[in-house]
Amino acid sequence: MFTLTPQAAIQVRRSLQQGDHGGLALRIAASRMPDGGIDYRMGFDEIGEQDTHVTSEGIDIVIAKQDLVLLNGAVMDFVEIEPGQFQFIFMNPNDSHYTPPDQP
């Protein structure tokens, strides 16, 4: 299933608090691009009856059923890309552009 790293969960909590989104879940959406990569979208939303609901690192996450196959096994992290520049990244074995990080 889809998971968050502890660093991503901290940032999602901050966004929930700063945006006054109490009671909403993190919605993750994905679609396949023509080149085989995956386009990711996220925002805060209510949990719908047709959604899959998971909890990772204490964060409620909702995924539409049609997106499950693209997000199964994916991990969302929050990393420093360049000094002072942070962003969410997706590590997803279903993405044709994904290269797993080197293992120690």
Sequence-separated contacts (24+) of 66-72 with Cβ below 8 Å = 67/28, 67/29, 67/30, 67/31, 69/94, 70/30, 70/31, 70/32, 70/38, 70/94, 71/2, 71/28, 71/30, 72/1, 72/2
Quote the pLDDT of residue 21.
84
Q: Which residues of the chain have pLDDT under 70?
A: 102-104
Q: Domain 3-91 - what CATH class? A: mainly beta
Residue ranges per structural domain of the chain: 3-91
Which structure tokens are listed for 10? 């901290």
For residue 104, the model assigns a pLDDT of: 55
